[in-house]
Amino acid sequence: MKPIYHNIAVNRPLEQLFTYAHDTLLPVGRRVVVPFNNTTQVGIVWQSDVTPEIEVDKILPIQTVFDDEPPLPQQWLDLIEFSARYYHYPLGAAAFVALPTAMRQPEKLSLPKTEEYWTLSDLGRQTTPPRYPKQLVLWNALFSGSLNRQMAKQIHTDANKYLQQWLALGYLKIADKQQPVVLEQKIKLNTEQAMAVETVLQQQDVFAPFLLWGITGSGKTEVYFEMMAEVINNGGQALFLVPEINLTAQLLDRLRRRFPAVETAVLHSGSAKTARSWDYLRAMNGTAKIIVGTRLSIFTPVPRLSLIVVDEEHDNSYKQDNDLRYNARDLAVWRAKYANCPVVLGSATPSLESFQAAQNNRYRLITMKNRANPNARLPEIEIFDVKRQKLNNGLSDKALNLLEENLKNKGLSLVYINRRGFAPALFCGDCGYSFSCPNCSAKMVWHKYQRVLRCHHCDHKIAIPKACPDCGNQDLTAVGYGTQRIEETLKKHFQAAQILRIDSDTIARKDDWSKARQAIENGTADIIIGTQMLAKGHDFGRLNLVIVVNADGSLYSADFRAVEHLFAELMQVAGRAGRAERAGKVFIQTQLPHNPLFSFLKNQDYQAFADNELAQRKQFNAPPTVYAAAIRADAVKIQDALSLLNNALQNFRLPEQVTVYGPAPQLMTRLAGRERVQLFLESPNRQALHTAVTQFSQQLNNSISGDIRVSIDIDPYDC
Ligand code: ADP
Ligand code: ZN
C-alpha cells in the first residue's frame, strides 16, 4: 500500500510542521502520537495528503491515531494559525497551549457519555399539567424542549423521581435531538437595557463589535443574559468570557438560575482534568449552548458560535503574560469576525484601547448611564488628604468614625487595601537596612501570622529575623500596611464587630470563598477587609461604606498604564457601594489629593478621565495611539541579556514608520534569579510593526546562545 503523508504539529517550540506517513488518509485536526527525536509526542494533523519535502525513506510512520475522538475543526486550526502568527509564537507550541491538559498528553481521552434527553410524548402533551409550581416548571421545560437528568435536576432537586413517574405513565419519550430550553426572564429590562439588547441582536448574523459601556450596577449582566437567551433560542451557541473564575462564583450562580435547563460548559484552569476536556468536547460537538470561562476558553471550538461576550473587558487577566502572550479580548474580536457574529465587550471603565476604537467607530458604542435598580443611587466619594494626619495604624480618625457610625446603623463596610500580608516592608530603624528578596528586585513582605518574610513574586520565604543582619539592632520597623495589619487595627477598635479578611491568603481553598460570601449575604459580617479580588463584579446589596486605605502606590509608578488601572480599580470598588436602597459612601485616603485622577473619580466621570488620558498617550506616543511590541531577554548576568539585544539591533535595519526604544532593564529587573531587559518597537502602522518584529526576531535567533531566554510580547502590558 502506498503511504499517505501528513504534516503534523507537535508540542515543541518550533515553527515548522513535521511530515509523517500513515496508510490511510487522516482528517486535519486528528490527534495522533508520533515518534520524535527518540521520544513519543502527541501531535495534531495539520495538513493531510501532502507531497513530502524531505526524502520519503526518512519519513517515519504515525504510531497511534485517536480515531474515536472527534477531530479538531478547521475553525480551531485557523484560530491557532492566526494566534501563532500575530503573537509571534511557534505554531506547534501555540496549538498545545490552546488545548485542555488531557488533550496535550499522548494518551487516549476518556470521552463524555452520551446522555439521553427527554421530552413530553404526545400523550404527555394531551395530559393536564401538574399543579405544583416547581413541578410545573419542570413540565413546561419538557414541553418546550428536552432535558437530560443533570439539567432536570438543576430545575428541580427531586427531578429524578418525577422523570421516573412520568416515564412510567408514558408522558415522556426520548428526544432524537436536543432542544434547548430557555426559561422565561423574570426581571423586566429597563429602556436602556432593552435598547442595548435590541441594538446587538439586530446584527445577529454579521460581524459586529460593540463596546457596552455601562456604569456599575446598570444591569449589564442582565443584558448579556437576554442576548444569550435569544441566540440560543435561534439554535446558536454563546461564548461568555469572564475574569478569573473563582472571583466570579456569584456570576455563575446567576447564570445557573437564569439558564437552569441550558447545557453549559464551564472552562477554567481550576476545573479537574477530565471535566475540562469533557466541557471542551461538549462545546465542540455543539451540545453545550453556553460556554463560560476565563481567558483560556477563547480557544474552545464552538461550531455554531453566534455571540461572544467579554465581561469586564478592561480586566488584565485577559492577557496571558507567559508562553503564548495572547489577549483573549482581542482574540474574541477576531473570532467574531471569523464566525460572522456580534461580540460585546462590556465594562464600566473600558480599556483605553476599546474606548478609542469606539471613538474611531471601529466598535459601536452602547452606553448605559443609570443604575438598573431604580432605588439605587451612585455613592458619594470623598477624597481625604492624609498628609499631615496622624494615622491609627493606617486609618485616619475620620475613617474610624465613619466605620463606627456605620456599625451603629448596622451597615456593611469594606476596607479596601490592595496589599496582602502584614506590612509590605521591614526596615532597620538604626542603619536603614531593608529586607529584599535575594532573587528579585522586590522587598520581602512581612506575614505576621505565619511568622515569615515572603516574596510575592517568587515566593521565597525566610523566618522573621530577630535583629538587623547589618548592625544587630533589634528594633525592626514595619513600613506600610497590608490586610493583616489593618485587620489588627480594626479588631482593636471594634471589638464587638464581625470582621472578615478576604485576600488570597484567607481564600486559599475552593469553599473558603463561598463560606465568606455566605457570611456577607447572611448579614453576619460587619466589616470586610479586602484586596482587589473583592473589587470585581460582586454585588453585596448591604454594602454602603467603602474605605480605601491607600491608593498612592500607582500614582508614583513608572508604568504608564498604572493610572488607568488605578482608576478602573477605584471605580469598581466604589461601584460596590450603595447598590441597593441605602446610599453609599466611598472614602479615599491619599497623600496626593490634587492628582487629577481624583477629580475624575469624584465626579465618576470616566469619559473625562479617558479623554485626558488618551490625550497624554498621544502626546507621549504610547499605546493605544501607537502599536507596540516588547522584545525581552533574560539571563543570570544582565550584561549577557543586554548585549544580545544590542548586537541584534546593530545588525538590524529599522523599517520605515517603526521606532525603537531601549534596550533597558525592565521595571522589575530581577525576577526569580534572572535579570530582565527589553526593548520596544512601536509604530502607528500595525503591519509595519509586525514586519519589524519578524525581522528582528530572525536576527535574535541567529545570535542567541548560552542560557539567555528571549520572548516577544505583542501589545504588551508589562514594562
Ligand atoms: P452590572 O453588571 O452592570 O454591574 P448587574 O447586572 O449586576 O449590573 O445589575 C445590578 C443589580 O440590578 C442586580 O442586583 C440586578 O439584579 C439588578 N437589575 C438588573 N436589571 C434590572 C432591572 N431591569 N430591574 C430591576 N433590577 C435590575
Ligand atoms: Zn523573589
Residue given cell 503534523 in the structure block = 8
* Amino acid 536: pLDDT: 67
Please list the alpha-helical segments (H only) found in 68-132. 74-86, 91-97, 101-104, 122-126
Q: What is the mean pLDDT of residues 34-47?
A: 95
Q: Is the pLDDT of residue 176 over 80?
A: no
Contacts of 520 (CB under 8 A, 6+ apart): 412, 500, 528, 540, 542
Total residues found in the chain within this entry: 719
| Cα 43 from Cα 62, distance rounded (Å) | 9
Shortest-distance Cα residue to atom 4 of ligand 1: 217
4-104: what fold?
GIY-YIG endonuclease (3.40.1440)
Give 706's pLDDT tier (boundaries 50, 70, 90). Answer: confident
pLDDT, tens digit, 9 for 90 and up, residues 83-121: 999 999 999 999 999 999 999 999 998 887 777 889 999
* Amino acid 580: pLDDT: 61
All 3 cell numbers of residue 516?
Answer: 465568606
End-to-end CA gap in the chain: 57
Give 419's pLDDT tier (boundaries 50, 70, 90). Answer: confident
Q: Kindly report which listed range (184-198, 344-358, 534-548, 645-659) carries the lowest average pLDDT score.
A: 534-548
- SS3 for 129-184 is CCCCHHHHHHHHHHHHCCECHHHHHHHCCCHHHHHHHHHHCCCEEECCCCCCCCCC
Q: Is 248 in the pocket of ligand 1 (CB under 6 A)?
A: no
| Cα 99 from Cα 300, distance rounded (Å) | 8
Atom of ligand 1 nearest to the CA of 223: 6
Q: How far is the CA of 215 from the centre of ligand 1 (A)?
A: 11
| Cα 552 from Cα 554, distance rounded (Å) | 6
| Cα 311 from Cα 300, distance rounded (Å) | 17
Tell me the average pLDDT of the chain.
90
pTM attached to this predicted model: 0.91
- Residue among 215, 220, 221, 223 to mutate when testing ligand 1 (max atoms within 8 A of CB): 221
Three-state DSSP state, 659: strand
Instruction: Tell me the ligand closest to 435's alpha carbon.
Output: 2
| Cα 680 from Cα 682, distance rounded (Å) | 6
pLDDT, tens digit, 9 for 90 and up, residues 146-171: 888 878 887 888 999 999 999 999 99
Four-way CATH pick for 380-422+481-615: 3.30.450.20, 3.40.50.300, 3.20.20.70, 3.20.20.140: 3.40.50.300
Instruction: Tell me the ligand closest to 213's alpha carbon.
Output: 1
Q: How far is the CA of 254 from the centre of ligand 1 (A)?
A: 11
Chain centroid to CA 568: 15
Contacts of 143 (CB under 8 A, 6+ apart): 119, 120, 124, 125, 129
Q: What is the mean pLDDT of residues 695-714?
A: 89
**What separation in angstroms does the CA of 6 have from each of 26, 296, 403, 487?**
8, 28, 68, 62
pLDDT, tens digit, 9 for 90 and up, residues 197-256: 999 999 999 999 999 999 988 999 999 999 999 999 999 999 999 997 555 677 888 888
All 3 cell numbers of residue 87?
Answer: 503573537
Question: Where are the domain boundaries for CATH 3.30.310.180 in the chain?
Answer: 627-714
Q: How far is the CA of 444 from the centre of ligand 1 (A)?
A: 42
Q: What is the mean pLDDT of residues 462-475?
A: 89
* Amino acid 90: pLDDT: 94
Inter-residue contact 575 to 443 (CB < 8 Å): no
Q: Which is it for the CA torsion 396, 401, 404, 410, positive or negative?
A: negative
| Cα 431 from Cα 172, distance rounded (Å) | 81
Q: Is 219 in the pocket of ligand 1 (CB under 6 A)?
A: yes
Rounded to 5 degrees, φ, ψ at 342 are -75, 150
Q: Is 485 in the pocket of ligand 1 (CB under 6 A)?
A: no
Q: Is 192 in the pocket of ligand 1 (CB under 6 A)?
A: no
Strand 172-174 relative to strand 118-120, pairing: antiparallel
Question: Where are the domain boundaries for CATH 3.40.1440.60 in the chain?
Answer: 4-104
Residue given cell 535567533 in the structure block = 701
Question: Where are the domain boundaries for CATH 3.40.50.300 in the chain?
Answer: 191-368, 380-422+481-615
Q: Is the pLDDT of residue 44 over 70?
A: yes
- Residue among 373, 542, 581, 604 to mutate when testing ligand 1 (max atoms within 8 A of CB): 373
Q: What is the mean pLDDT of residues 457-472?
A: 89
* Amino acid 612: pLDDT: 96
What's the CATH code, domain 191-368?
3.40.50.300
Q: Is 220 in the pocket of ligand 1 (CB under 6 A)?
A: yes
Inter-residue contact 366 to 196 (CB < 8 Å): yes
Please list the alpha-helical segments (H only) found in 502-633. 510-522, 562-575, 596-602, 606-619
Give 61's pLDDT tier (boundaries 50, 70, 90). Answer: very high
Give 6's pLDDT tier (boundaries 50, 70, 90). Answer: very high
Contacts of 186 (CB under 8 A, 6+ apart): none
Q: What is the mean pLDDT of residues 403-422?
A: 91
| Cα 664 from Cα 237, distance rounded (Å) | 46
Axis-axis angle for helices 133-144, 159-168 (nearest 10):
60
Q: Is 349 in the pocket of ligand 1 (CB under 6 A)?
A: no
CATH architecture of 627-714: 2-Layer Sandwich (3.30)
Q: Is 370 in the pocket of ligand 1 (CB under 6 A)?
A: no
Q: Is 214 in the pocket of ligand 1 (CB under 6 A)?
A: yes
pLDDT, tens digit, 9 for 90 and up, residues 340-366: 999 999 999 999 999 999 999 999 999
Residue (of 487, 508, 485, 486) closest to 498 by Cα position: 487
* Amino acid 246: pLDDT: 59
Residue given cell 463560560 in the structure block = 292
Q: Is 373 in the pocket of ligand 1 (CB under 6 A)?
A: yes
| Cα 212 from Cα 312, distance rounded (Å) | 10
| Cα 80 from Cα 85, distance rounded (Å) | 8
Residue (of 312, 304, 301) closest to 238 by Cα position: 304
Q: How far is the CA of 453 from the centre of ligand 2 (A)?
A: 11
All 3 cell numbers of residue 334?
Answer: 477576531
Q: Is 306 in the pocket of ligand 1 (CB under 6 A)?
A: no
* Amino acid 78: pLDDT: 98
pLDDT, tens digit, 9 for 90 and up, residues 569-621: 999 888 877 666 667 899 999 999 999 999 999 999 999 999 999 999 999 88
Instruction: Tell me the ligand closest to 443's alpha carbon.
Output: 2
Q: Is 222 in the pocket of ligand 1 (CB under 6 A)?
A: yes
